[in-house]
Structure formats: C-alpha cells, structure tokens
A = this chain, B = another copy of it.
C-alpha cells in the first residue's frame, strides 16, 4: 500500500439493484412504483423557471418542508428533507449515533444500515429476526447507542404493530430510535400518531416508492423540534443545498393530488394480492407483504437460479446472498401486465 493510501477510509461500497438503461425489460428489482407520478408533479417539473437554473435553490427547501408539515399535521420545525431517504438516513446516523455502545438493527433488514455504520465507524449489533422473519421487541431492550427499525421491513416485506415499536421506545428513553417508514403507505402501522409523545423518535420516509418519484431523490424525516434541529444542523454542515430548485417544487406539488396518490396505491395493493396468490399456486412460499414488493421462496428451485433465469429473460428481480435469505427473491409489484409476464415466464421456467 502506498503511503498516501494509509489514511484513506476503506469501505466495501453498497451495491444497489441493477439499473439497466435499456428498454423492453421488466424491472422489478428496486421497488419503484410502476405508475407515473401525479400530473401535478410533472407540471411542476415542466414549469420550473429554467431561467433560474443558475441560481442556488432555497437552502431550507422551505416550500417543500412547509408542505410536508401541513400535509402530515405537524408543527413548523418538525420536518427536514434530503436527497432521497438514503441521504436523510445517512446524516441521521452521523448526527444521532455517536456513542461507544453499539447501535441495534435486525440481521435481515435494509442492507444500507450496516454500510452507514461501517463508513461512519459506528459500532453495531444485529439481533436476528425470529424464525418467521419477525422483529422481536425484547431484543431491543439491552444497552445500546441507538436503534433503527424499518417498518415495514425490507426485504422481508413484513410490518410490525406500532405497539411493539412503542414497547421498544419505552425501553429506550435515552437513545434515538429511528423508524424507517419507506414502505408504510402500502401497509403496516405508522408511528406518526405517537410522534408527539416521544422526543427521541425519528420517522423517515421517501417519495421513491409510494409517490413514483424515485428519479427526483426526495426523502424526509419527522420528529420533535429538538431532534429535527439537531439533524438540520448537521445537514447544513455537510451541504447547504441538497435539493435542486425543481425537486423542491415537484415534491410540494406531489402532495396536492391525494386522489391520484390513493388510486395508485390501491392498484399496487390489488396487484400485490393477485400476484401473491399466483406465486403460491406455483409452489412459492410468499410472506404476508405490507409493502410494494413480495418476498418469496420456491419449494424446489434455488433463489440464485431463479434470479439468473429470470434475468436472462429480461425480468429483473432482486436477490441477496445473505445466509438466511439466499433462497428468496424480492419481487417489486409492477403493473398487472408486468406481473402476468412474470408469472407466465415462471411457468415456462418451472
């Protein structure tokens, strides 16, 4: 190793699902929403004053922050935004997890949590999910430096009751508890009604799944004013302007079309239930999803093999190599047509 390399922060980078740029594939691997975003969002994009592309955006993104606070019935100062929930979560790790004691998150969960812990050199432990892939609240009552619970969890797709997360909160008054609600619009119980009761609770969400805006990179956190101010201070110490001008407008506009939003959600949920049954009829064990993806394992064929065969046919699902989950596939719920193609392709393969 050269001398100048010695003080470089070495990491094993996170590998996201493939983002193939070609057409005519069926992309069911990164949980994007198959339906277009609300027309109001598109209009906001097209009508952003492009003569102002040369001006810095509003560093506080106040139009979007205010719109979110209003939409969720929160007070001023209870929301902050970032460039995707990954940005918000990453800076939450940096802001809130500075103890010598390990932070806790499940062994099977969103695979970016250990990556952030590693890059920021935060000690961590991963209590295993039980045999049914469920989070056990009792595992989160030992001494720790912070907790991250994805609810619903990925890639398991399973939600836990908010009363169980409240049990965790009550056992942990002295650390920050982050609840990652990226998928909560598709099912599961949100902690939002409990936000006012717990100053140390941070809820993180995204526009990438339920709002069909993964390309715009919008994420946000909700919490007590003290918590949000601490996070904003660190955000402002990293990058003054994480969101572009049009992103701020698109994010605000997207909140105005509740009808379209609910309609798209219902379509996804309907297709999800249909697809689950179809897979079960073909010998798959499918967990009870409360998200916009299915977590499924075939009774005979290995996950790796199915993943590769599907990809050969232009159908991209997600496969993870982790010990407990390598026989499973994580399949995004696409349109009905896309899921029909998936099912008929599986019929050919199996």
Q: Hey, which bits of chain A sit against chain B, CB under 8 A?
A: 2-16, 19, 21, 27, 30, 32-37, 41-42, 45-46, 50-59, 83-84, 86-87, 90, 94-99, 115-116, 118-119, 145-146, 173-176, 199-200, 208, 212-217, 226, 230, 232-234, 236-247, 250
Q: Determine if A238 and B119 form an interchain contact, defined as CB atoms under 8 angstroms apart.
A: yes
Measured between beta carbons, the chain B residues less than 8 angstroms from A12 are: 233, 237
> 17 A-B residue contacts at CB 8 Å?
A4-B175, A5-B226, A6-B174, A7-B96, A7-B98, A7-B99, A13-B233, A13-B236, A41-B53, A45-B50, A45-B246, A46-B50, A53-B215, A54-B212, A56-B215, A86-B240, A116-B238
Measured between beta carbons, the chain B residues less than 8 angstroms from A213 are: 53-54
Q: Determine if B217 and A241 form an interchain contact, defined as CB atoms under 8 angstroms apart.
A: yes
Asked if A32 meets B14 with Cβ closer than 8 Å, knowing A4-B176, A59-B19, the reply is: no
Most chain B CB within a 10 A radius of its CB, from A30, A54, A56: A54
Q: Determine if A214 and B56 form an interchain contact, defined as CB atoms under 8 angstroms apart.
A: yes
Asked if A174 meets B3 with Cβ closer than 8 Å, knowing A11-B233, A116-B238, A237-B11, the reply is: yes
Number of copies: 2
Measured between beta carbons, the chain B residues less than 8 angstroms from A58 are: 19, 21
Asked if A145 meets B50 with Cβ closer than 8 Å, knowing A56-B208, A116-B238, A215-B57, the reply is: no
Q: Determine if A239 and B90 form an interchain contact, defined as CB atoms under 8 angstroms apart.
A: yes
A92 to chain B, nearest CB (A): 10
Chain B residue nearest in CB terms to A233 = B13
Chain B residue nearest in CB terms to A45 = B50
Measured between beta carbons, the chain B residues less than 8 angstroms from A57 are: 19, 215, 217
A287 to chain B, nearest CB (A): 24
Select which of B4, B16, B27, B236 is within 8 A of A59 by beta carbon. B16
Q: Determine if B42 and A53 form an interchain contact, defined as CB atoms under 8 angstroms apart.
A: yes
Measured between beta carbons, the chain B residues less than 8 angstroms from A14 are: 236-237, 240
Measured between beta carbons, the chain B residues less than 8 angstroms from A237 are: 11-14, 115-116, 118-119
12 other contacts beyond A7-B176, A217-B243, with CB at 8 A cut-off? A7-B99, A10-B233, A11-B237, A34-B54, A45-B246, A53-B250, A54-B214, A83-B239, A87-B239, A217-B241, A217-B244, A244-B247
Q: Determine if B239 and A8 form an interchain contact, defined as CB atoms under 8 angstroms apart.
A: no
Chain B residue nearest in CB terms to A177 = B4
Select which of B30, B37, B99 is within 8 A of A56 by beta carbon. B30
A182 to chain B, nearest CB (A): 13
Q: Determine if B19 and A239 form an interchain contact, defined as CB atoms under 8 angstroms apart.
A: no
A91 to chain B, nearest CB (A): 9
Q: List the 7 shortest-distance A-B pairs measured between CB atoms, nearest first.
A: A13-B236, A54-B212, A3-B174, A4-B200, A119-B237, A16-B240, A7-B99
Measured between beta carbons, the chain B residues less than 8 angstroms from A84 are: 239, 241
A330 to chain B, nearest CB (A): 15
Q: Determine if B7 and A52 form an interchain contact, defined as CB atoms under 8 angstroms apart.
A: no
Most chain B CB within a 10 A radius of its CB, from A19, A32, A250: A19
